[in-house]
Amino acid sequence: MTTYSTRKEVPDHEKWDLTDLFNNEQEWRAKLEECESICDKLQTYDGAITSGSDLLAYLKTQEELSFHLRKVFAYTMFLTDIDTRDSHAQTLSDRTTKLGVKVSESTAFFMPFLLSLNEETLRSYLKEEKELEYFEDELWKSFRFKDHVLSKEKEELLSQLSESFQAPGATFSMLNNADIQFGDVTDDKGKKVQLTRGMYAKLIEDEDRNKRKEAYKAYYKPYIELNNTIATTLGAEIKKNATMAKVRNYESALQKALFADDIDPAVYDQLIEAARNHIQPLHEYSRLRKEKLGVDELRQYDLNASIVPGVKADIPYEEAYSTMIHALQPLGEEYVERLKEFKDKRYIDVRETPAKRSGAYNMGVYGVHPFVLLNHHDDLNSLFTLVHEMGHALHSHYSSKHQPQITASYRIFVAEVASTVNEVLLINYLLNETTDEKMRAYLLNHFIEQFRGTFFTQVMFADFEKQTHEKAENGESLNAENLNSLYEELFRLYNGPDIVFDDEVKYGWSRIPHFYRAFYVYQYATGFASAIQIATKILEGDKDVLESYLTFLKSGSSADPLELLKAVGVDLTTPEPIEAAMKKFAELVDELKKL
């Protein structure tokens, strides 16, 4: 594995080129000040929109602000993420946060104003100004929120409080990325060194059980020490969500979170029910894992080790990228050419360095290009992560290229489809390329693990979110003890009775950053199930599905998420896609048993 002690050691071609956003900080500051001026201009429309031309002028100004704001925000976000200890980057980020508050304040009047209009008045404005056709769909969609937008004064007050509302998530992010110090582990030379996230990802899969246990204990050490503090931050976040749902006249925080995408909460409940009803193959897999590892007691630190010993894939970044290119050939030559460009043009920040933000993500910047953050470790997991994030990135690329700004950003509900289609194509390619039975078993084991992590674990998280929010809505306490107890109960339910629990298991909820983005994670599971169905048909040679899928990638948010998926043959209002995914998982477990 390639490691770097400083960012300066990383070759330039494996780092972002942020000059694509701004050549220097001075340019960034000038654009930030321009955004502040646009905010001042937007405020002049408060109480002054009395015609179609006024409405058009406001909306065009607001869209101009949105275009510049994305770049301003991205620049400071990227600077902060490549070194979370950088105090100067934090200062710039604080400026961006304050700008965000000003934007909220300057636009807070608009939704109450819009929803105060009757349909006849809005239609007259649309008829008066032909250019308003560009905004028409979004204007009518806004009327769905009529019962959930407050008075002008209350909206302004909430805007002023928006920075405070971000405090629980911001506090956890700082703890998790900058302050947390993991325990020590023993390196290959027998010396004690402090564990990093990157090391943990490798060690928790090590064939040596003692190494796995040592890494596991060291990793959870700070989360146990900070249990009460993190419980306070998450409890505050959940209570905020419950309170805001009530303030805005939603039946629940879940309904509020799903409302913008027009997703019925029944889809969420149906997902959890289907996973619980088809959980037996996952329990069988736990039993198989215990048997093949040859352990008397299966522990949490045994869940990531390969049950096919003696097979270890060392995949340097260059080789990983080449493998991805070959694996995604079924999506067409044009798609593959775009992938090659992303690497050559430095759209990807590849390596883990001290204090770099953990994990991986893609962020599309309209009018510029997508930016992908990785912490690549030259292994099979890193290959899958690369393929996953490039699915997001190409989705962003195509939607931005083929959609106007107003519909260029795809909704969160469909965000995981493109990434997971890529993963399914990758595993299919790797399985087809190997003739070695042991390697095939290894790859099947890996795909089952992807299934477990992307589907079952995310449904378990979704279950946890639903129950914790319901507790808050019912006035129940959300202290460390209650959160620990609920998480431990769900972990046992989903992973089966063959696992013997260490004390660390119950603290698992405290390390999940997605819990500060309410009801997000369930979409990994629905996206995974949708992708299984789409990728299977593409691999079967269904040209209509391939064509409709490529159209889907170019569609952004031009239609509601469920409708976009229906156009590719996936109907998540029925249990069929989830049950088909469950059937596929059971087949994978059965094949692995035979091998």
Concatenated DSSP letters of 131-176 = GGHHHHHHHHHHGGGTTT---HHHHHHHHHTHHHHTHHHHHHHHII
Q: What average pLDDT does the structure give for the chain? A: 94
Report d(CA 459, CA 453) in Å as an integer.
Answer: 9
CB atoms within 10 A of CB 279: 18
Whether the CB-CB separation of 193 and 185 falls below 8 Å is answered with yes
Q: What is the pLDDT of residues 221-255, one digit of tens each?
A: 999 999 999 999 999 999 999 999 999 999 999 99
Question: Would you state the pLDDT for residue 24?
Answer: 97
Tell me which residue has tokens 């004390």: 503
* CA 191 distance to own-chain centroid: 36
E strand or H helix at 417, and its extent?
helix 412-433
Q: Which comes out higher in pLDDT, residue 154 or 106?
A: 106
Going by pLDDT thresholds of 50, 70 and 90, the confidence category of residue 155 is: confident
Report d(CA 69, CA 58) in Å as an integer.
Answer: 16
Structural tokens at position 195: 């564990």
Q: Which comes out higher in pLDDT, residue 446 or 287?
A: 287
Report d(CA 537, CA 546) in Å as an integer.
Answer: 8
Determine how β-strand 348-351 pairs with β-strand 361-364: unpaired
Whether the CB-CB separation of 490 and 456 falls below 8 Å is answered with no
CB atoms within 10 A of CB 338: 16
Report d(CA 77, CA 89) in Å as an integer.
Answer: 8
CA-based nearest residue to 521, from 580, 592, 468, 448: 468
Report d(CA 369, CA 342) in Å as an integer.
Answer: 9
Report d(CA 9, CA 5) in Å as an integer.
Answer: 7
Question: Would you state the pLDDT for residue 390?
Answer: 98
Judged by DSSP in three states, 343 sits in helix
Report d(CA 408, CA 400) in Å as an integer.
Answer: 5
Whether the CB-CB separation of 237 and 515 falls below 8 Å is answered with yes
- Residue type, position 374, single letter: L
Whether the CB-CB separation of 546 and 538 falls below 8 Å is answered with yes
Question: Would you state the pLDDT for residue 59?
Answer: 98
* CA 187 distance to own-chain centroid: 32
Going by pLDDT thresholds of 50, 70 and 90, the confidence category of residue 306 is: confident
CA-based nearest residue to 578, from 525, 537, 520, 529: 529
Q: What is the pLDDT of residues 262-285, one digit of tens each?
A: 899 999 999 999 999 999 999 999
Question: Would you state the pLDDT for residue 516?
Answer: 96
- What ranges make up the beta strands (E) of 11-102? none
Residue 140 has pLDDT above 80, yes or no: yes
Q: Which of 105, 205, 237, 389 is catalytic?
A: 389
Q: What is the pLDDT of residues 338-382, one digit of tens each?
A: 999 999 999 999 999 999 998 899 999 999 999 999 999 998 889
Q: Residue 164: is it exposed, middle or buried by C-beta count within 10 angstroms (0-12/13-18/19+)?
A: exposed
153 tagged catalytic: no
Whether the CB-CB separation of 91 and 29 falls below 8 Å is answered with no
Determine how β-strand 192-194 pairs with β-strand 348-351: unpaired
Structural tokens at position 349: 């920040």
Q: What is the pLDDT of residues 180-231, one digit of tens each?
A: 999 999 988 889 999 998 899 889 988 899 999 999 999 999 999 999 999 9
Q: Which comes out higher in pLDDT, residue 163 or 460?
A: 460
Measured CA to CA in angstroms, residue 594 lies from 429, 437, 444, 450 at distances of 21, 11, 11, 20
Q: Residue 548: is it exposed, middle or buried by C-beta count within 10 angstroms (0-12/13-18/19+)?
A: middle
Residues 6 or more apart from 366 whose CB is under 8 A from it? Answer: 67, 70, 400, 405, 408, 409
Per-residue pLDDT averaged across 502-523, rounded? 95
Question: Would you state the pLDDT for residue 1?
Answer: 63
Residue 62 has pLDDT above 70, yes or no: yes
Q: Residue 559: is it exposed, middle or buried by C-beta count within 10 angstroms (0-12/13-18/19+)?
A: middle
Whether the CB-CB separation of 384 and 429 falls below 8 Å is answered with no
Question: Would you state the pLDDT for residue 56?
Answer: 98
Per-residue pLDDT averaged across 522-548, rounded? 94
Domains in the chain: ranges and CATH: 7-165 (1.20.140.70)
Residue 12 has pLDDT above 70, yes or no: yes
Question: Would you state the pLDDT for residue 146?
Answer: 85
Q: What is the pLDDT of residues 572-593, one digit of tens each?
A: 999 889 998 999 999 999 999 9
Going by pLDDT thresholds of 50, 70 and 90, the confidence category of residue 48 is: very high
Q: Which comes out higher in pLDDT, residue 51 or 157?
A: 51
Tell me which residue has tokens 């046992």: 492
Per-residue pLDDT averaged across 93-102, rounded? 95
Q: Using DSSP, how many helices (H) and how many strands (E) does the chain show?
A: 26, 5
CB atoms within 10 A of CB 401: 13
Concatenated DSSP letters of 481-548 = HHHHHHHHHHHHHHH-TTBPPPGGGGGGGGG-GGGGSTT-THHHHHHHHHHHHHHHHHHTT-HHHHHH
Residue 4 has pLDDT above 90, yes or no: no
Predicted structure pTM score:
0.82
